[in-house]
Amino acid sequence: MSTLDASTMDEHPLDNEHIRTGLSKEALKRAFLDNLFYLRGRFREVATDDDLYQAAAYTVRDRLLERWIRSSRLYKESSARTVCYLSAEFLLGPQLANNMINLGITEVLHEAGEALGLDFERIIESEEEPGLGNGGLGRLAACYMDSLATTQIPAIGYGIRYEFGIFDQVIVDGWQVEKGDTWLRNGNPWEIMRPKLAFPVGFGGYSEQYTDEHGVVRQRWRPDLLVNGVAHDTPIMGYGVDNVNLLRLWRSEAPESFNFGAFNVGDYYGAVHAKIEAETISKVLYPNDEPEAGKELRLKQQFFFVSCSLQDMIRLELNNAGTLERFQQKYAIQLNDTHPSLAIAELMRLLMDDHLMTWDQAWTITRESCHFTNHTLLPEALETWPVELFERLLPRHLEIIYEINRRFLDEVRVRFFGDEGRVARMSLIDEAGGRKVRMAHLAAVGSRAINGVAELHSELLKSTVMKDFNDLWPERFHNVTNGVTPRRFIAASNPELADLISETCGNDQWVRDLHCLRQLEPHAEDHALQQRWRKIKTDAKRKLSNWLGERTGFAPDPETLFDVQAKRIHEYKRQHLNLLHIVWLYEQIKQNPNIELTPRTFIFGGKAAPGYFMAKLIIKLINAVGAVVNADPQVNGTLRVLFMPDFNVKNGQRLYPAADLSEQISLAGKEASGTGNMKFSMNGALTLGTLDGANIEIRDEVGHDNFFLFGMTAAEAQQQQAAGYRPWEHYQQDERLRSAIDLISSGLFSHGDSELFRPLTENLIHHDPFMVLADFHDYRERQQEIDHAYKDPHHWDRMSILTTTRMGRFSSDRSIADYAERIWQVTPMPVALNESPDA
């Protein structure tokens, strides 16, 4: 008998629906009340907001589990090729609303809530966001998990269950202050802990040689520290399908959490020391790696999660096939940036040392299984680890890396005879300035495919940081332009716009196939549609304004142009270019109070890395400029500046629908792709941007007339740098630029303190590594063009509608289809709930 058919399971007396799986209003009402009572121990009158949220989450999760079990069984029985997506980050965002959309129960669940006297929007709002990512990298991984399930491709996402995720950001006196992200304080209803599914992970110790019973000389590792990785599983539901994939995150714990021997002799700290040391590994996302202890912990984290994940894949394959000989045909392992690069060495160790394969057998499996996505061109972001640290923590893996390197460099020497410079550049070990292991090189050598994440990025990857590898293996290099899921970033974020699109198109097929948005294009000139489009935008701006008013004390006028730059705070993303223009505008209004300008609200959002002083100073300057501008009655009808605190997925979903203008202004050649640019454009924001990352492809798709382009190309920027870029000359020659910098230096925005922002202004004038000053003139002129364009609402609305309609290429569903066809060679495996799976 099926578990779901068990006689003990409650059924609704009228429609015979199971309380755990039914999708009717009555079934959902009963399920909600049962979960509130039996899982939370509450009745309606005394339930807190969190009680109500947890009951709703378990109600939705129950419906996922039936599909999850069915999917798992089908994948196992069919031996379906499975994508294993290894990522140090999975920035999922709130899950309740998204899962409701994917299950197709949003409307009926709201009706069930109304019947119970519940405000379901308030319940959704109360969900705590799991901050298991820093930004675009983790959010991309989450989008891809959504799309893998939606496109019905069997997949497992593997990562770390950080107890404390990306910090919560609060602003104190204009400065960023980091607060601990205690996202687990009320529990996580979406996950299922698997205490019996745990794998040992070693650190330190030594490697030794021995001869096995067949007389074969082998190597084994004797670590001096062992921790366990315990699985925590989250179901990932596809949209409009019954496929549910698995996100498996690992939590670290000590094999023995309490040492009674130490306790009995009075060593109370020693009694729990192993537990503390082990649990530290999964304690916090990205510890500060400036101190040596931080570097060591980050390396431990990376090895911890790849080792657990690979041991799990091996377990699954042995259970299913009984042998590892076809491992590479079963699994396509995707390394999301360099953080999982240790998978190359660890898979080799597991296959050779634990499963007694030869080097050649293990190397064939490893190289055919692994694929590497590069996400950056910034040299400082290409991970390296000191050999000394590697030798201390992972001695066996360093041996394997040395052997990979020896064999690889022999291949390079034969192919490029006499070119020892190339040999040194391509080596997995950087011998200059302290010996270091180059993780990007390890990933490239051990993978069958290497891809960039936008057309420009992929070309620059082949011509700059990985040129030597492209010369050796051009067939391994691919481009897969990033994408984002329209389920979360239109349907969940902007339901009013989603309804208008579906009504105008006559169907909602666009949610699953974003190219269907093109059906909207013939209506772009329709004034009635434009008016409804603008009203939806204004309503979104009003909602954001109210939210900002509650949290910052300042609610911007929704009738102003919302000019938004929201992304990680970093010099290459050039928030200070935006600020220089704002300061110049402020000066113009002060000098000419009758100047006619489109009223604007400039909104910034983003977090700075805790140890990144210049980024934190930029946040301080944004808030300092806002404090002066917003308090000045002479300008506050025309100009406002706000900083949105704690920008994350949840807050981003408030911001994307409200933006009129999206600023994507990084120096050309520095942003790998960007995904915020896609989220804003899908919601009708026009882009002010450089020819960088995916901006280029967005501009080509939406039409050059619907994109405000400025700045140097990547080639022009490289040429200027090579010729000896002199920012001082731009400062001297551009009076507007000079006056803006001087106004900041004067102390106007720092209570007369002319020293506070000097590190920022001096760096711009004398160094300017990201060429802010070189692009300022062109940027300012394009901003004036935007000022004029916004004054023609029909023209602006037409551009906004066309921008949304032409964003089909930037769905993560398309990205996954590209990976599946060109890199992974996997095919969809549809799941159908024809009958319930057996227990």
Report how far residue 179's alpha carbon sits from residue 170's, in angstroms, rounded to the nearest whole number. 7
* Dist. CA 556–CA 645, nearest whole Å: 15
Q: Assign 3-state DSSP to the chain and report helix, strand, coil percentages, each to 5.
A: 50, 15, 35
The H or E element that residue 691 is part of is none
Selecting among 63, 457, 567, 780, the annotated active-site residue is 567
573 is catalytic: yes
Helix (H, G, I), strand (E, B) or coil at 443: helix
Show Cβ contacts of residue 43 under 8 Å, excluding neighbours closer than 6 positions.
36, 37
Q: Is 675 a catalytic residue?
A: yes
* Catalytic option among 59, 675, 803, 804: 675
Helical ranges in 506-612 per DSSP H: 527-552, 575-591
Residues 6+ positions from 232 with CB-CB distance below 8 Å: 161, 191, 192, 193, 194, 248, 249, 250, 251
Q: Rounded to 5 degrees, what angle do the CA atoms 14, 20, 24 make?
A: 45
The CA angle 359-318-404, to the nearest 5 degrees, is 20
Element (H, E) at 701: helix 695-702
DSSP category for residue 119: -
Q: Which of 812, 833, 775, 688 is nearest to 151 (CA)?
A: 812
Pairing of strands 217-222, 561-566: unpaired
Q: What are phi and psi of 419, to 5 degrees?
A: -95, 80
d(CA 366, CA 357) in angstroms, rounded, equals 12
Is 590 one of the catalytic residues? Answer: no
- Strands 661-664 and 600-605, by their bridges, are unpaired
**CA dihedral over 696, 690, 652, 287, signed as positive or negative:** positive
- Map tokens 């919601």 to a residue: 683
Tell me the one-letter amino acid at 532: R
Task: Find how far residue 779's CA is from the centre of its chain.
Answer: 28
Select which of 300, 441, 457, 573 is catalytic. 573
Q: Which candidate in 18, 70, 251, 375 is catalytic?
A: 375
**Is 82 annotated in the active site?**
no
| C-beta of residue 765 within 8 angstroms of C-beta of residue 741 | yes
Q: Residue 422: which of 403, 409, 432 has the closest Cα?
A: 409
Euclidean distance between CA atoms 451 and 574, whole angstroms: 26
Active site includes 457?
no
Please tell me which residue in 568, 581, 654, 798 is annotated as part of the active site. Answer: 568
- The residues annotated with a catalytic role in the active site are 375, 567-568, 573, 675, 679
